[in-house]
Structure 1
């Protein structure tokens, strides 16, 4: 305690009130007035500078000026963004955050700019910080969920929940360490589970590297939480950049990695393992031929393939119909997805990925499984020569009749001599299969070429054999190739008659292979755009709804005595025509490639505006217009005429209004498009009397399900699958409540209720909309409600609608995964609170066992067909 004999110190004088500084006050007052005047004049840059001066000189004004300052910052940032002044933009945000370091709105807005510019890690950090400051901040929550899917891809959860996979890796690592491999390098560590396995096995030194900043920070947290901080060295860098002794103290005797994708080589494992020769030593390589590096887990792989018929693959990669909404598609030329097994582009992956066991409609094997490749990851010379390997050619007997839609590929990963993992379609595994789309008929024998250009595994179906004759597919598709020239691999040419025979067969697939100019005419569409073109019910429904609208408008115009108003219309085939009726203006603002504007123009007396942007896509629409007798003047490309995104929904001319505006309302993944309701509100203001927004209404349907699969794909389920390591709490920070790209028709689940109407979005009537709705659903079976899958009925008008949950749909479904499963008994009533905020759907659920459904909004049952 203080010395009592000490003489008390003189008390501190009361602090005087600081003197007023008239000059400063005058400067603040003038700057504040100038800021407000500049804001009124929309001179946001100057206004921002004045606000900075005011708030730095007079912090007491922060609360008073916060809203105006935010508004000025956001407007000025948008201008800087449009001018490409990115550094100035972020400088402004840094200055703003010095003044308001805990303002969640400014932090979230900066994150949005970072995300748009590709800085996903940094964006996620800002969204996460904004959520910590205000956990119920809906914009930050939606942004964080969106970026979380980029930062921690969903396969991480499946992989960590795959106990069999984790256990086999652990056993292989234990055996290697027991055999003397005491120094370990983990390439692409992810959450650090393999590094922790090595340390637990007794490795003396463990080093891990991870390129993703998010995963690197996550691994550091996980290692610390498991008591291994300081015992495992984690580097935020690419393995190819590591050097001894700069980054790693000494050469390692064991390299562990799982940098493999569905196509085996797509994550760069070959480059990484070649580079390991600089950072590993050979003394542990006891069971493989001598090499120049340490042992590798996995030790190698065997790749298998199989030719399959699959309608789901077909409709996502090529046009399967000859007519779309009344438009004959022959003039479009050859349309296909960017993923083509015959692609010559070495910069793109030659495959897509699918879980074959979950494809709607299933698949039919057309050949027996075949071995495509063996690779020894411990043999450096083999790895270095992989890209220069000679193309191998396999002759595969066709065992079933049908259309050949794809080569499906999987592999067996050999961890060591005794243990392996299979990614085959019949296995219960966290991997999908690689799909190489093919466009041909199956003959008696299929001829496949296998190569490894650019360290991608490439499989190409180059020919079919029928009745002892070989038909090369590129010959059939390329009329310009000289008749007597050999094929690319030097094989014999078929006779002209045989070639014509196969070409004729190919034409039966519904794809025009012989455009009028005699040349191959390729146009690439995204997989979802191809599936959309193949969605005949949607286009037929739209055609009927548009025809009804135009007919009604014509009748109304005639009744008002305005049918004599004319403008000249021309037909390019016959020259200028007599003046016709004033056209109806239709605007299609669909995302990506769309033929809806062309279908509207085909109604006659319609001037259609399309938002298709890509020149080659516009060329396809022009060709289709000519081939289907639609005058050139009837179709315009709207984005060629507007200066910025804000002008997309403006009027076609000062005195005209839109007769119809077509909005793209649902993303392919199964979510409502962002800012849909804002766009609909603006669109309604631009319609002529009697005009319509398509669709006019969207009804959201859902049901209660029990699905362990959705749980496995959404979050790590405790410590048991991760071998006792504490990983779940850390990676589950990146769990998102909405699971997208779901196919409900093949999802492994139990239906615990009938389908019910959950929500309605009325695009034509603002007063009919709401943001929250309570719906009561009765459980039809006992179980655990783990998720609420949902889909949409899209009403083009009162009578015509299409579902996003149908066999022909190009849309997938989505599901809200509950934070905690809800135990129900048959007959229980479950109250769902459905909320829509900024296009983000959330669902809360609770059981009301004794409640009756009286007085609740329409919880009527409806049928959903797959």
Structure 2
């Protein structure tokens, strides 16, 4: 056992927790995409067809088929290669627990004498009589790809392997990859990367210039584009082929720019680039695996579901006006690990900057994309505005406790006498200072970079707080109840609050809903037999990892990307009263959810609803349920908590008609800042 220091997201304290020495290993297994990949039947079938064709081409030349499988994981592709007729396979896996599992899986399937698992990074593998490989390979199989294709270092790995581990002539599976892009106008997507002006009765609140002109975060935004309504964006270009990588030829990891000329389909403001890729498993491109979003498939055509490979949203560093029919240049800059885009006139294409985008304003370092979307959600802000109007007066002394919140500006615009706001970090403090300075509010709204327990009467001008407000939102929060940090802050500030202080929100309630997922269940479903191979050892590893404290509870997922059906009515589990201090005794609740629809009950979803005033509430989870189908609509700017049923682990997606209810026990432990829960399907 070892002691690990972790910041408690609810209490804000540093807790020392005793963990198993293999804790990090178990967490990596539990949060991996191995189950998702093994359940990707389309991917598996295409890989097998491509491997079979490559072995035939090599054998057709009268050569032995020697395979190099980089990033073998479970060893599935290596076993496919031997089944397809390969003579020998070197399977490389750098992650030791997975390499050990691959050894067991290969032996369990009877391939121990034809597959050698090498626990090294491919760049460390040697060839020779005393090396890891006795001879060079002539078939290169890899699955080193991520949503961006090259983000896991595929290009350097290919480059090294082709130079050092392959024969002069080799076959590659996949044979080539093609990157596609489409330039679009989308205020919705742009709102994930830029703070937009906010309309108030007193005028418009403008973001600081450095924030408006900032190119944003350098990391790609990966998302299930299939769940994005096509009405949320307007195409300004056709779907463009940006570049191709031929894996059967020598690959280079050097930086390069790809210039694509196109004529604008419509007039508008080019703001965003949508991108995805496909891979051809054979030279003739008869075996292809595509990552294109669902709305590009014909009606009623089955859409493969993948969480390990999604689609990309890139935010152009500068929005650009385009005119219908006008020729424009899209420039894709690529280094060994990532891609980024610029848009320019054809005459400036060769002189366009190739510098990778990086945040200069601090906002993209402090806020994630969901937080940008939330701050730009005008309907949500209108609810807060309406609620604040009910509680604030011209004599109100208002204190806001939330990270990077616009509520202090709303409070001032409504007419509060004094407004203070707490920021937890120096970066957040600087951001708020810039925003207030831009709008001539720096001398009016006072920013305090202090923890709640350190706020003094002097900080508040020797006055008591008559209105304590919050969204609540804290950057350290992962699960919905982590924002109970607001309650602990309220308790720490008790001596600074007036006796008749109004607290907004006045309370929070934790809700639960039993659901059937369309696809998300796959990430926690057993793989026992995959494409005819026994990989049940993976199930044991994942289940063991899920038995650990953090992973056996709820995990955060943005459910707007993952369709599901409600099988029960939404049920309130417990209410936290923010008008009172955090209690000292545990808060417990138990009961059952009656299933009102048939279906496979994969687990439950949990979320918080905040009661701002008696009449106004805001949900961070369920927004609507279709009476006819049970399809759920989820709040898009927060992640919801998902508790997968371990008791249904062996049932997978099979219907569970005998299931009648789900019983639950839930305990909030104030001293630990912890919510403990158990859910049990019941016949």
Pick the TM interval, shorter chain: 0.7 to 0.9
Report the secondary structure of 2:156's partner residue: helix
CA shift, 1:604, in A, is 4.0
Is 1:394 aligned to 2:272, yes or no?
A: no
CA shift, 1:534, in A, is 0.4
Report the secondary structure of 2:293's partner residue: coil
Please say if residues 835 and 843 of structure 1, whose CA atoms lie closer than 8 Å, have aligned partners that are also in contact. Answer: no
Report the secondary structure of 1:460's partner residue: strand
User: Alpha carbons of 1:312 and 1:625: their partners in 2 closer, same or farther (altered >3 Å)?
Assistant: closer
What is the rounded CA distance, in whole Å, between the counterparts of 1:153 and 1:215 in structure 2?
Answer: 14
Q: Could you say which residue in structure 2 is the equivalent of 1:198?
A: 81
Within 5 Å, which residues of 2 pair with 1:257-406?
257-282=142-167, 292=168, 294-323=170-199, 328-330=204-206, 332-333=208-209, 335=211, 348-349=218-219, 351-359=220-228, 363-364=232-233, 366=235, 367-380=237-250, 383-384=251-252, 387=254, 389=256, 391-398=258-265, 404-406=270-272
Q: Could you say which residue in structure 1 is the equivalent of 2:570?
A: 755
Which stretches in structure 2 are left out of the alignment for 5+ residues? 8-15, 295-302, 353-359, 624-633
Is 1:772 aligned to 2:650, yes or no?
A: no
User: Alpha carbons of 1:173 and 1:623: their partners in 2 closer, same or farther (altered >3 Å)?
Assistant: closer
Give 1:425's match in structure 2, choosing from 293, 302, 305: 293
What is the rounded CA distance, in whole Å, between the counterparts of 1:598 and 1:729 in structure 2?
Answer: 53
- How many pairs were matched up? 612
Q: Name which of structure 1's ranges 237-246 and 769-778 shifts more when overlaid on structure 2.
A: 769-778
**Deviation sequence 1:686-714 (CA, Å, 0-9, x none):** 53322355433111223222224121133
CA shift, 1:316, in A, is 0.8
Give 2:677's match in structure 1, choosing from 818, 836, 842: 842
Which has the larger Rg? 1
Report the secondary structure of 1:699's partner residue: strand
Q: Could you say which residue in structure 2 is the equivalent of 1:731?
A: 542
Report the secondary structure of 1:260's partner residue: coil
User: Alpha carbons of 1:666 and 1:783: their partners in 2 closer, same or farther (altered >3 Å)?
Assistant: farther
Please say if residues 29 and 542 of structure 2, whose CA atoms lie closer than 8 Å, have aligned partners that are also in contact. Answer: no
Report the secondary structure of 1:317's partner residue: coil
Please say if residues 71 and 142 of structure 2, whose CA atoms lie closer than 8 Å, have aligned partners that are also in contact. Answer: yes
Please say if residues 515 and 565 of structure 2, whose CA atoms lie closer than 8 Å, have aligned partners that are also in contact. Answer: yes
User: Alpha carbons of 1:707 and 1:625: their partners in 2 closer, same or farther (altered >3 Å)?
Assistant: closer
Within 5 Å, which residues of 2 pair with 1:433-832?
433-438=311-316, 439-444=319-324, 445=326, 447-456=328-337, 458=339, 460-463=341-344, 487=348, 489=350, 524=364, 525-546=367-388, 548-551=390-393, 584=397, 586-588=399-401, 590-591=402-403, 593-600=404-411, 603-611=415-423, 613-615=425-427, 618-626=429-437, 628-630=439-441, 632=443, 634-639=445-450, 658-659=465-466, 660=468, 662=470, 664=472, 670-673=479-482, 676=485, 678-684=488-494, 686-720=496-530, 723-726=533-536, 727-735=538-546, 736=551, 738-744=554-560, 747-765=562-580, 766=582, 771-805=587-621, 806=623, 810-821=637-648, 828-832=660-664
CA shift, 1:531, in A, is 1.4
CA shift, 1:378, in A, is 1.6
What is the rounded CA distance, in whole Å, between the counterparts of 2:64 and 2:390 in structure 1?
Answer: 75
Q: What's the TM-score, normalizing by structure 1? A: 0.62
Please say if residues 339 and 352 of structure 1, whose CA atoms lie closer than 8 Å, have aligned partners that are also in contact. Answer: no
Please say if residues 697 and 763 of structure 1, whose CA atoms lie closer than 8 Å, have aligned partners that are also in contact. Answer: yes
User: Alpha carbons of 1:236 and 1:696: their partners in 2 closer, same or farther (altered >3 Å)?
Assistant: farther
User: Alpha carbons of 1:448 and 1:815: their partners in 2 closer, same or farther (altered >3 Å)?
Assistant: farther
- Structure (1/2) with the larger helix percentage: 1
Give 2:274's match in structure 1, choosing from 408, 415, 422: 408
CA shift, 1:793, in A, is 1.2
Report the secondary structure of 1:243's partner residue: coil
CA shift, 1:297, in A, is 1.6
Please say if residues 35 and 525 of structure 2, whose CA atoms lie closer than 8 Å, have aligned partners that are also in contact. Answer: yes
Report the secondary structure of 1:109's partner residue: strand
Which stretches in structure 1 are left out of the alignment for 5+ residues? 1-106, 114-122, 131-143, 283-291, 464-469, 473-485, 492-519, 555-583, 640-644, 849-866
User: Alpha carbons of 1:830 and 1:528: their partners in 2 closer, same or farther (altered >3 Å)?
Assistant: closer
What is the rounded CA distance, in whole Å, between the counterparts of 1:365 and 1:772 in structure 2?
Answer: 50
What is the rounded CA distance, in whole Å, between the counterparts of 1:649 and 1:596 in structure 2?
Answer: 19
User: Alpha carbons of 1:371 and 1:828: their partners in 2 closer, same or farther (altered >3 Å)?
Assistant: same
CA shift, 1:323, in A, is 2.8
Please say if residues 670 and 814 of structure 1, whose CA atoms lie closer than 8 Å, have aligned partners that are also in contact. Answer: yes
What is the rounded CA distance, in whole Å, between the counterparts of 1:747 and 1:352 in structure 2?
Answer: 16
What is the rounded CA distance, in whole Å, between the counterparts of 1:714 and 1:360 in structure 2?
Answer: 27
CA shift, 1:424, in A, is 1.0
Please say if residues 184 and 272 of structure 2, whose CA atoms lie closer than 8 Å, have aligned partners that are also in contact. Answer: yes
Q: Could you say which residue in structure 2 is the equivalent of 1:156?
A: 34
**Deviation sequence 1:806-852 (CA, Å, 0-9, x none):** 5775223332222244966699554343444644453413446xxxx
Q: Could you say which residue in structure 1 is the equivalent of 2:357?
A: none
What is the rounded CA distance, in whole Å, between the counterparts of 2:389 and 2:440 in structure 1?
Answer: 17
**Deviation sequence 1:280-333 (CA, Å, 0-9, x none):** 333xxxxxxxxx453322111122222344454222122344337967332522
Report the secondary structure of 2:642's partner residue: strand
Q: Could you say which residue in structure 1 is the equivalent of 2:13?
A: none
Please say if residues 773 and 834 of structure 1, whose CA atoms lie closer than 8 Å, have aligned partners that are also in contact. Answer: yes
Please say if residues 478 and 556 of structure 2, whose CA atoms lie closer than 8 Å, have aligned partners that are also in contact. Answer: yes
What is the rounded CA distance, in whole Å, between the counterparts of 1:428 and 1:236 in structure 2?
Answer: 31
What is the rounded CA distance, in whole Å, between the counterparts of 1:191 and 1:299 in structure 2?
Answer: 22
**Deviation sequence 1:637-677 (CA, Å, 0-9, x none):** 314xxxxx695566655976554264745777553217736
CA shift, 1:535, in A, is 2.3
Please say if residues 395 and 416 of structure 2, whose CA atoms lie closer than 8 Å, have aligned partners that are also in contact. Answer: no
What is the rounded CA distance, in whole Å, between the counterparts of 1:826 and 1:666 in structure 2?
Answer: 41
User: Alpha carbons of 1:624 and 1:177: their partners in 2 closer, same or farther (altered >3 Å)?
Assistant: closer
Please say if residues 297 and 415 of structure 1, whose CA atoms lie closer than 8 Å, have aligned partners that are also in contact. Answer: yes
What is the rounded CA distance, in whole Å, between the counterparts of 2:611 and 2:544 in structure 1?
Answer: 37
User: Alpha carbons of 1:314 and 1:162: their partners in 2 closer, same or farther (altered >3 Å)?
Assistant: same
Please say if residues 277 and 291 of structure 2, whose CA atoms lie closer than 8 Å, have aligned partners that are also in contact. Answer: yes
What is the rounded CA distance, in whole Å, between the counterparts of 2:393 and 2:234 in structure 1?
Answer: 49
Greater RCO, CA 8 A, separation 6+:
2
Please say if residues 186 and 257 of structure 1, whose CA atoms lie closer than 8 Å, have aligned partners that are also in contact. Answer: yes
**What value does the CA root-mean-square deviation take over the aligned residues?**
4.0
Report the secondary structure of 1:313's partner residue: helix
User: Alpha carbons of 1:164 and 1:243: their partners in 2 closer, same or farther (altered >3 Å)?
Assistant: same
Give 1:176's match in structure 2, choosing from 54, 75, 79: 54
What is the rounded CA distance, in whole Å, between the counterparts of 1:651 and 1:108 in structure 2?
Answer: 42
Report the secondary structure of 1:625's partner residue: helix
User: Alpha carbons of 1:681 and 1:330: their partners in 2 closer, same or farther (altered >3 Å)?
Assistant: closer
Please say if residues 152 and 215 of structure 1, whose CA atoms lie closer than 8 Å, have aligned partners that are also in contact. Answer: no
What is the rounded CA distance, in whole Å, between the counterparts of 1:191 and 1:449 in structure 2?
Answer: 39
Q: What's the TM-score, normalizing by structure 2? A: 0.77
CA shift, 1:271, in A, is 0.7
What is the rounded CA distance, in whole Å, between the counterparts of 1:436 and 1:269 in structure 2?
Answer: 20
- Structure (1/2) with the larger strand percentage: 2
Q: Could you say which residue in structure 1 is the equivalent of 2:665?
A: 833
Q: Could you say which residue in structure 2 is the equivalent of 1:72?
A: none
CA shift, 1:274, in A, is 0.9
User: Alpha carbons of 1:753 and 1:258: their partners in 2 closer, same or farther (altered >3 Å)?
Assistant: same
User: Alpha carbons of 1:330 and 1:539: their partners in 2 closer, same or farther (altered >3 Å)?
Assistant: same
Please say if residues 666 and 672 of structure 1, whose CA atoms lie closer than 8 Å, have aligned partners that are also in contact. Answer: no
Q: Could you say which residue in structure 1 is the equivalent of 2:299?
A: none
Is 1:254 aligned to 2:133, yes or no?
A: no
